[in-house]
Structure 1
C-alpha cells in the first residue's frame, strides 16, 4: 500500500483556503493546471511510497512514539509559492520548527520500521494546490497567494494516510486518501 505521514488542516481552514483558490481559477491559463482535490489537501511530512503490509504494526508503533515526543503547535496557512514551473503550493507560518521536527521524527520512524525511504531532504512545509504537465509560469498564481493569511489552528495529531491512485484512466481523476492511523501529539496512548 502507498503511504505517507501528514498533517491535515481542520475543515474551516480548508474552506478558507478554498475561497482563495477559487479566485486563482479566474487567472489566465488556470484551466491548463491540474488542481488538487480539496478532500486531499494536506501537508506531507514523510512520503513512504509502497509499504509492505507486514511492516504496518512496527510502523504504527514507531509513529505513535514519534507523535508522543512532540507537543501540539500553532500553524496557519500563509502565502504561496512554486517549485520550478510545475508545482503551485500554499505555505505555512507559525510553528514551523515543530512541524520540521515532526517530519523528521515521522521519517525516522518509517526508516526504523523497515520502510525503504527516498533520499532524505530538508523539510519544506507546503500544501500542493496545482501541478502542470507543461512548462508553466506559476508566478502569477504565487503572487496572487502572497497576501493570503489563514486563521491559526493547533496541530494536535499525526496522521498516516493511504493513497489510492486512480486506476480508471478518466481525465481529471485524482488519488483518494484514507486515514490509516492517527496519533495525538504529546499524549500517551
Structure 2
C-alpha cells in the first residue's frame, strides 16, 4: 500500500479553501488542469511509498513517537504558489517551525523521501501539460484562511485511480492518527 504522513486540515479550513478554489476554477483555462478533490486535501509531511503490511507496526510506532514529541500548534492556509507549470498549491502560515519538526520526525519514522527539502503546501491542481499557473497564483495571493490548531499526525493511504490504467484521481484513506501532545 502507498502511504504518507500528513496533517489534515479541519472541515472549516477545507470549506474556506473550497470557496477560493471555486473562483480559481471559473478562470479561463481552468478546465485544462486536473483539480484535486477537497476530500483528499492534506499537508504531506513524509511520503513512504509502497509499504508492506508487515512494516506497519514499526511505522506506526515511529509515528506515535513523532507525534508524542510535538505539541499542537497553530496553522492556517494562506496564499499560494506553483511548482513550475506542473502544480498549483495553497500555502501554509502559522508555526512552520513546528510543522517542519513534525515533518522531520515523520520522515525519520521509516525510509522514504528523507533527502527531500520540506516545503509545506496543499496541492490544488496539476497541469495536464505545460500550463500558465501565474493567473491562479495571483488570485491565491489574496487568500487568507482562518487559523486552526494542528493536533494530530495522520497516516494516510493513497489509492491510485481505478481501472487497469489507474485513470482517475487518487483517493485518500486515513489509516491511523496520533494526537500531538509533546512539549514542542
Q: State the TM bucket, normalised to the shorter chain.
A: over 0.9
SS at match of 1:27: coil
Superposition TM-score, scaled by structure 1 size: 0.93
Equivalent residue, structure 2, for 1:167: 162
Task: Show structure 1 runs of 4+ deviating over 3 A.
Answer: 169-172
Cα offset, 1:168, TM superposition: 2.1
Gaps of 5+ in 1: 112-116
Equivalent residue, structure 2, for 1:147: 142
Change (3 A) 1:82 1:156: same
| 1:72-123 residue CA offsets vs partner (Å, 9 max, x unmatched) | 0000000010001110000000110100000000000113xxxxx1351221
Cα offset, 1:154, TM superposition: 0.3
Question: How far apart in 2 are the matches of 1:52 and 1:99?
Answer: 27
Q: Does 2:98 correspond to 1:103?
A: no
Contact 1:74 1:152 in 2 (8 A): yes
Gaps of 5+ in 2: none
Total equivalences in the alignment: 182
Superposition TM-score, scaled by structure 2 size: 0.95
What CA RMSD, in Å, does the superposition of the two structures yield over aligned residues?
Answer: 1.5
| Aligned ranges 1:80-91 → 2 under 5 Å | 80-91=80-91
Worse-superposed segment, 166-175 or 177-186 = 166-175
